[in-house]
Amino acid sequence: MSGVKMHADEVDIDVSLVARLVRAQFPHWAHLPVRKVPSAGTDNAMYRLGDDLVVRLPRVPGAALQVDKEQRWLPLLAPRLPLPVPVPVGRGVPGEGYELPWSVYGWLDGANAFDEPVADSAHAAVELGRFGAALRTVGADGGPPSFRGGPVRSREDDVRAAIRDLGADGTVDADAATAAWEEVLRLPQWQGDPVWVHSDLLPGNLLVRDGRLSAVIDFGCVGVGDPACDMMAAWTLLTAGTRDLFREAAEVDDATWARGRGWALAWGLTTEHYYRVRNPVLATVARRAMREALAEYEGVTG
């Protein structure tokens, strides 16, 4: 694998390896061509398999648990959701020098919302809000803890480090960011029962066709917890003029919405801090999130 690796423990994956894995474990697909899918994803690599399939492989050992989670829960969640999501059609095991489990999914047409920005923001706001609301209606018993389903204040140390370093190099106004973050820390926490949340509704995990939101992918962070983290899309993807449409469709209360804005701020700061060299595409999304969130805090507190 060429280029800068995003993680110290990132494994090498290429077309040749994927072809060998498919040939050894799914010989009925061995004749299909393999080609890499460009992606700014941090945990998994994607390879198109023919026209109708995609292979998804963890880049790092820590992402291997996502395979079991998606294989188990996506078939349950998919029929309950208003937008298409990936459905697993094959489960791979370690082999050919690759030591992690992996999956094969049906291919969903569309470009990710970073490469092909949403043209109809109002439609995306409503559809994404309905998606989150529908996800929360699925019974959460037995669901795994969500990656971002806990309190946003659990990111305290990382946020403070990001403010310090990004403030020092002029990327962010450290005083404004600190004031906003301290406001986040004072928010009331989630008191309800855990609900299903996607946890990673970023532009790279949303597909667009003809300018409209068409599918949601990458359920590696899915789980149960506080729904606030799924509100981040309001600041990572949507415009100020369509956020209220999203909020209404998502059916969340004021406190959840405020924690969602806190997640956008925290995620934006910490992701820009960590990925600005390792993953410039993701860092661009992070920069937008923290700036959009900060603008609202300044409007509220200033």
pLDDT tens for the chain, 302 residues long, are 345 565 566 899 999 999 999 999 999 999 999 999 987 677 899 999 999 999 999 999 989 999 999 999 999 999 999 999 999 999 999 999 999 999 999 999 999 999 999 999 999 999 999 999 999 999 999 999 998 999 999 999 999 999 999 999 999 999 999 999 999 999 999 999 999 999 999 999 999 999 999 999 999 999 999 999 999 999 999 999 999 999 999 999 999 999 999 999 999 999 999 999 888 999 999 999 999 999 999 755 44
Stated pTM of the model:
0.92
**Helix, strand, coil share of the chain (percent; to 5):** 50, 15, 35
Q: What is the pLDDT of residue 42?
A: 76
Q: What is the pLDDT of residue 266?
A: 98
Number of CB atoms found within 10 A of residue 253's CB: 12
Amino acid identity, position 268: G
Q: What are the tokens at 156?
A: 């305290």
Q: What is the pLDDT of residue 21?
A: 98
Provide the sign of the torsion angle of the four alpha carbons 32, 36, 40, 41, taken in this order: positive
Q: What is the pLDDT of residue 123?
A: 97
Residues in the chain: 302
Contact 218, 205 (CB under 8 A): yes
> Residue 210: which residues within 8 A CB-CB, separation 6 or more?
none
Burial 81-97 (b: 16+ CB within 10 A, else e): bebbbbebebebeeebe
Q: What is the pLDDT of residue 40?
A: 64
Q: What are the tokens at 93?
A: 């095991």
What is the DSSP secondary structure assignment for residue 247, as one 8-state letter? Answer: H
